[in-house]
Structure 1
Amino acid sequence: MKRWILGASALAISLGAPAAFAEDHEDSVTLYRVFVGDHSDSKVTAFDLGEPDHRWSFDTAGQNKLYAVNDGAAIVAVQSDSDAVHFIDSGISLHSHGDHSDIDIEEPIAVEGSLTGPRPFHIIDHDGKVVINFDKGGYAAIVDAHELSHGEIETSELKQERAHHGFAAPVGQYWVTSVATDTPVDGTRIGLRAVSEDGEPAGDVATCTGIHGEAFSGAYLAAGCQEGVLTVTPGEDGPVFEMLTYPDDLPEGQTTGTLLGAKSMQVFLGNYGKDGLVVIDPAEEPHFSYIELPFRRVDFALDPANARYGYVLTEDGSLHQIDILDASLTESAKVTEPYSMDGHWNYPRPRIAMAGDEIVMTDPNAGLVRRIAKDGLTEVGKIDVGGMPYNIAVAGGSGMVHEGEHDHEGHDHAHDDHAHAHDHGDPQIAKGYFEDSQIADRTLSDWEGDWQSVYPYLQDGTLDPVMEHKAETGSMTAEEYKAYYDTGYKTDVGRITIKGDTVTFYRDGEAVEGHYESDGYEILTYAKGNRGVRFIFEKTGGDAAAPQFIQFSDHRIAPADADHYHLYWGDDRAAVLEELTNWPTYYPSSLNADQIVDEMLAH
C-alpha cells in the first residue's frame, strides 16, 4: 500500500524547504503541558511534563472529555452528561516562521464563559473552526479558533434537520453534516450531506449507515460506516463523496467507528471490531490494511512527531507500537495492570496521548499519569495526580524563545493584525499541509532585494556536499539527486532584483524589467495529498521581453520576508500554474557559495 508523505511535492522537497528547528539551539525550548480530566470529580488538572509539581486545577460542571485544539493553544473540556463545554487557554502557542517556530509560554487560564446545550459530544478542529455537536439539540456550535486563542468565545450555529448523535465539519466552501431519520430515540444515522453555511441542503445524502467517528488527513475527511469508510474531498461544485467498501479479506461482521487522521502523512488509523485496527489509505488501493491485536483494544493514538508510528494499549496492560507503513505491531511492553473491556464504554480505563518522545498514559486505578518512552516503551516516570485520572490531552512542542518579547508573568492578549500572520502555529505549513483560512495575500515587498540563482552552484559542484547529505537519508544516490535538481533549478536567469513594483531579470548581463501588481494566489493540490500556494503577479508595464506573469513559492502562505524562493514565469497564467518540474530557485546575492551550502545543509 502506497501512502504519500505530505510535503513530498517538487516544491516542498527543494533543498530550501524548512525542517524542524534543532532542539539544542541555545534559544530553543521544548515544553509539553498535560491536561487530565478526573473520572468522578468535576475538574481538570494541568502540569508541565518536565516539572510536574508546576500544576494548576480547573473546576468544571462534570466529567470531561479533553481535546487539544488550534495546535494546542486551547483545551476543550466537553461534559456530555452535564450539558456544558469549557475552554482552557493552554498557555502554550507555537508560531511558524518557515525556517523555525517560536514558542510563547504563559500560565494556563480558564477562558471566561462556556457553552451550554443539550448533550455536547463530537468535536472537530479544522480550518480555523472548532465545531461541537449538540446531539440532543439538533445543531453544531462553531467556535472561531483565532478568537478562542485570544480568550474570546465567538460562536455561530449550524442547524441540522433533526437531533442525533452526529457531527458537522467544514469542507472547502461548504459544510457536511451527518443525517439521521426521525425515530423515537436518537435517530438512525444514514449518511452525510453537503449543506450551506446556514444549514440548507446543497446535495443528496451520501449513504453511510450508522455513521460514527470522523477525522481529517491531507485532502480527505473520513467517516466510519457499516458499508465501509466514506471519504469527502473539496470539489469545484461542492464536496465529493466516495465510499471505500470493506474488502472481503477483513474479518466479517466488524466496522470502523473511531478514526484518527495523520497530519504529515495522508493516512487514517481506525478501530475495526474490538480487537483489531485498520490502516486506511484514502487515495490508493488497497485502501485497507488490517492489524490483529492480541487482546481487546483500550485506546490508541498517532504520533504527530513521527508519522510512521502509532501506539495502542490493550486490555492486558500492554502498549504496542504500530508501524503505519507496514500495518504491523513492531514492539510491545507491559505498562500497567490489566483493564478489562467488559462493561460500559465509560468505565475508568487508561487513555494515552503523545508528548514528543514520550507517551503519557492515565492509570485510573493507580491515580497516576505514567510517562513511557517511545524508544523501548519503558517507563521513565510517573506522576501522582490523585483521584481517578481518565481523559488526557497534551499541548506544546519545541520553539525559539525571543527574550524580552513576551511577558510571561501576565496573560496579555493584545495583538495587531500583522503580528498574527495566518500561518502561525502550524509547523506543517512548509510541508504543504494547511487550511484555506490560513492563507493571506502578499505583496512584492516580501521578495524585495537582490537575488542569485543557485543553478550555477549545482553545475560547478559547489552543491555536491548537499546532494551527498541528502543521499545519506534519502531514497536516491547523490548523482540521482543532482540530476533531479538539475531539472528543478535549471534557468538562464542568473540574477533577479525586486524593488517596489519593479522586477528586473538578468540574462548574460542583459537586463529586462517589468512592473507588476498582485493577481492573487492559487492553491495547488497534488496527487500525493499535500498542497502549495502560488502568489501571482501580472505585468502592468515595462519591457515587452519581461514575462506577463510571475508566480512565487517560498513555502509560506501569509505575509513574511522570504529567505529564498522558487519562481515560475511565462505569458500564460494557467500554463505557468501547471509547471511542477522546473522551479528556478533564488537566494540573496549577498551570500557566497559556502554560505548557500551552509543554508541548505541547515534545512
Structure 2
Amino acid sequence: MSLRATTAAVLAVTAGAAFAGEVTAERLFVSDRDQPKVTAVDPASGRILDTFGIRGPAALYRSASGQTVFAVQGDAGAVTAISTGIAIEDHGDHGDIHVKAPSLTGTEIAGKAPSHLVEHDGMFAAFFDGEGTARLFPETVALAGAPATREVRAPAPHHGVAVPYGAHVLLSEPNADDPKALPVGIRIVDAAGAPVGDIAACPDLHGEASSGSLVAFACATGLLIVTGGGDAPEVRHVAYPADLPEGKSTTLLGGRGLQYFLGNYGPDKVVLIDPTAEADAFRLVGLPTRRVTFAVDPVRARYAYVLTEDGVLHRLDVLAGRIDTTLRVTDPYSMNGHWNDPRPRIAVTGEQIVITDPLQGKLHLIDAASFTSAGEIAVTGKPYNIVAVGGSGQTHGDGHAAGHDHDHADDRIYRGHFEDAEIADRTLSDWAGDWQSVYPLLQAGALDPVMAHKAEHGDMSAEEQKAYFETGYRTDVERITIDGDVVTFFRDGQPVTARYADDGHEILTYAKGNRGVRYIFRKVDGDAAAPLFIQFSDHRIAPGAADHYHLYWGDDRATVLRELTNWPTYYPASMGTDDVVREMMAH
C-alpha cells in the first residue's frame, strides 16, 4: 500500500479518537516463508498497511510493550527492528494510546546466525549461534534507530540463548564435547561477563519462557526455574515425574495472567506446568493427531490454543487441563518433512485468534469469544510467522501526545517567574514511573526536527542548538524507574537501586533573571553505586505529576546544585520517538 493510503488509515483511527475519547488499535505483523519481507495488517479492516523489505525470511518477536517487532533473520545474519506505530501509556486508572504509521526504525543488529531473541525487564538479548555471542540492548534505544549493544560471550558458538535478568545474564552453556549438540546448562554471568556460581545443569536445553516473575528453561530432565535472589538469581530444577511417558519439552510458552508454562511433549501432546505446585506440577493433554503450533492467550488468561495437522484448532482450558472446543480452520498440513516447511502459526489479538495459511496466502480470523470463523485476509506470498500488537486507550484531539498538559496551568511559572509563597513541597510520587533518556534520540538524529524548530524561534542555528543539547542531555543512564521511594538507574541495562527520602528544595536564580526549583532527595539505603543525592527540575513548583523532567545527581548536595550545563532529561518510556518530538516542540 502507498504511504498516502497508510497515512489515511492512521488518520482515520486518530480522527475518530478525537471525538470518541477511547479507541482500539490493533496490528498484525506477518513474515513470509520464502521472501525477505514483513507485512503490516490492520485486522479490523483487512487492509495491508505497509510491507517492509528486510534481508531474509524472518522469525518475528514482539516486545512486551507492543511498540516494537523484531525480525530475526538467521540466514541473513540480521535482527531488524520495526516500530509498530502503537504505543499505550498506563496511567493506572486509564491508558492513553498513540497511533501512527508503522515503520522501520533503522535499527539492524548484525552477526552470524542470530536465533533466539529474549526480552526480560525491558532489556533484549539477541543470541548469535554462529558466534556464541549475545548482544543486549533496551527497547528505547532500538526504537531510536542506532542501538549501542553490550556483548556477553559463551565459551563457544552453539545453538543457544541468553536472558537478561536484572544485573545478570542467564547464558546457555555449550556442550564441550560437541558444539553442534544442544547446550548442557545455564551459566549466570555478571555485568562484566564474569561467571557467578556454578553452571546449572540442563541437558539438551532448548526452550525458554517467562511467566510473571519466573523464567524457565526446558531440559531433557525437566525444567530449570529461575527466580530473583540476593546477590544472584536462584535456580532450581523441577524434574519430570516418573509416571510421565518418555519425552521432553523443546518449546515453552509462558502464561499471561495465570502463572504457568505450556510446552510441547512428543508429537501429539502438550504439557501444562505449574512451577509452584508441590505435586502434580505436570499435566499432559493428548491431541487427536500431531501438533503443528500452539499459543497462549494473553487476554483471556484461562485459554491456550493448539493447531493440529488436520487443520483443526483446539481451545485448551488451562485451569481444567483439557480441550473444551474445536474448530476446523485450514486444509491439512502434514508434519512430515522439514521442521521449517511452511506451516501455520498463531497470534492472538484482543478479540480474535489469527492463523496464517502459507499455502493459501491468507490469514484466518476466529472470533475468540464465540470460537467461530470471523473471515479471512489475503496476504501475498506465503504468510508464515505472525505477531499481534495493540489494545485500547484514550486519545485526544489536541494534536499532542495523549495525557499530557501543555498549557502548564500557568505559563508564567513554567517560564520561571513566581513568588516564593507559591512554592510547595513535593514527593517522589510526582516522578513515579518508567522513564527513558532522550540523549540516545539526540545522538541518532531523531530530534533534528526539534533543533530546527528551536532555530526558527531562537538566536542559534540548528547545529548550534544540537551542540547545546548534546552537552545538556549527555548521560550514560538510559532509563530510570521510580516506584514509591525506590529509584533504579539503568546503565547498559544494568540496574543500580536505592531508596530516597525528601531532603527539601532549593530555589535557583539564573543569569537571565528567571528562577527554578530543585526538589532534592537523599539516599537512605541501597546500592553503593547509587548517587547520594538526586535533584529534580521539571518547571513545576507545587505537587503535580511530571510529564518529563531534568535530573541532577551526585554525592555532594552543594556541588550538584551548581550544575547548570548538564541536565539529563527523561520522558515516559512508553512514548515513541515521534511523541517525544511533538512534546518538545510544544514547549
Fold-level similarity (TM above 0.5): yes
Alpha-carbon shift at residue 257 of structure 1 (Å)? 0.9
The Cα shift of 1:53 comes to 2.1
Task: Look up the match of 2:324.
Answer: 330
Question: What is the CA–CA distance in structure 1 between the aligned matches of 2:401 and 2:166, rounded to whole Å?
Answer: 37
* Matched position secondary structure for 1:365: coil
Higher relative contact order (CA 8 A, sep 6+): 1
Partner residue in 2 for 1:229? 223
Matched, 1:131 2:125: yes
Does residue 422 (structure 1) correspond to residue 416 (structure 2)? The answer is: no
Does 2:231 align with 1:189? no
TM-score, structure 2 as length reference:
0.67
Q: Is the 8 A contact 1:367 1:388 kept in 2?
A: yes
- Aligned pairs for 1:71-470 (under 5 A) are 71-183=65-177, 185-252=179-246, 254-285=247-278, 286-406=280-400, 421-422=433-434, 439-440=481-482
Percent identity, please: 40
Distance in 1 of aligned mates of 2:171 and 2:145: 28
What is the SS of the residue equivalent to 2:359?
helix
Is the contact between residue 96 and residue 423 of structure 1 (CA under 8 Å) also seen in structure 2? no
CA contact (8 A) 1:38 1:388 kept: yes
Shift of 1:297: 0.9
User: 1:404, 1:139 → 2: CA distance?
Assistant: 46
Cα distance, 1:405 vs structure 2: 4.3
Deviation at residue 283 of structure 1 after TM alignment: 1.3
2:532 corresponds in structure 1 to none
Gaps of 5+ in 1: 1-22, 409-417, 425-436, 445-498, 503-515, 523-558, 562-603
**How many Å separate the matches in 2 of 1:169 and 1:269?**
19
SS of residue paired to 2:386: strand
The whole-number CA distance in structure 1 between the counterparts of 2:235 and 2:123 is 22
Partner in structure 1 of residue 53 of structure 2: 59
CA–CA distance in 1 between the matches of 2:521 and 2:179? 59
Change (3 A) 1:442 1:251: closer
Aligned-pair CA distance for 1:155:
1.3
Contact 2:248–2:265, Cα closer than 8 Å, also in 1: yes
Q: Which amino acid aligns with 1:91?
A: G
2: CA distance, partners of 1:249 / 1:162: 36
Over 3 Å counting, the alpha-carbon distance change for 1:419 and 1:120 in structure 2 is farther
Task: Give the superposition deviation at 1:266.
Answer: 1.5
Runs of at least 5 residues in structure 2 that lack an aligned partner in the other structure: 1-16, 403-429, 437-478, 487-501, 506-519, 527-543, 547-587
Counterpart Cα distance in 2 of 1:328 and 1:300: 14
Query: Could you tell me whether the CA contact under 8 Å between 1:171 and 1:233 is conserved in 2?
Result: no
- 1:452-498: CA deviations, max 9, x gaps? xxxxxxxxxxxxxxxxxxxxxxxxxxxxxxxxxxxxxxxxxxxxxxx
8 Å contact from structure 2 (residues 432, 482) kept in 1: no
Question: How far 1:421 moved relative to its partner?
Answer: 3.9
Count of matched residue pairs: 419
Q: Quick one: which amino acid aligns to residue 434 of structure 2?
A: H
Q: Is the 8 A contact 1:319 1:377 kept in 2?
A: no
Contact 1:159–1:198 under 8 Å retained in 2: no
SS in 2 for 1:283: coil
Query: Partner amino acid for 2:126?
Result: I
Residue 520 (structure 1) shift: 6.4
Answer whether contact 1:321 1:331 (CA < 8 A) is retained: yes
Deviations 1:245-284 (A, max 9, x none): 11122222x1011111123222111111111111111112
Structure 1's 327 and 518: CA in aligned 2 closer, same or farther, altered over 3 A? farther
**3-state SS of 1:146 partner:** helix
- Is the CA contact 1:32–1:397 (under 8 Å) kept in the aligned structure 2? yes
How much has 1:148 moved relative to structure 2?
Answer: 2.1
User: Structure 2 CA distance, aligned partners of 1:270 and 1:156?
Assistant: 31
Letter in 1 for 2:251: T
5 Å-filtered alignment, 1:481-496, equals: none
Q: Distance in 1 between matches of 2:485 and 2:244?
A: 53
Counterpart secondary structure, 2:126: strand
- CA distance in 1 between counterparts of 2:524 and 2:70 reads 36
Are the counterparts in 1 of residues 220 and 248 from structure 2 also a CA contact under 8 Å? yes
8 Å Cα contact 1:162/1:180 also seen in 2 = yes
Q: Distance in 2 between matches of 1:312 and 1:60?
A: 30
- Counterpart-to-counterpart distance in 2, 1:112 and 1:420: 31
Change in CA separation of 1:37 and 1:517 when aligned onto 2, cut-off 3 Å:
closer
Distance 1:420 1:500 in 2: 17
1:460 matched residue in structure 2: none
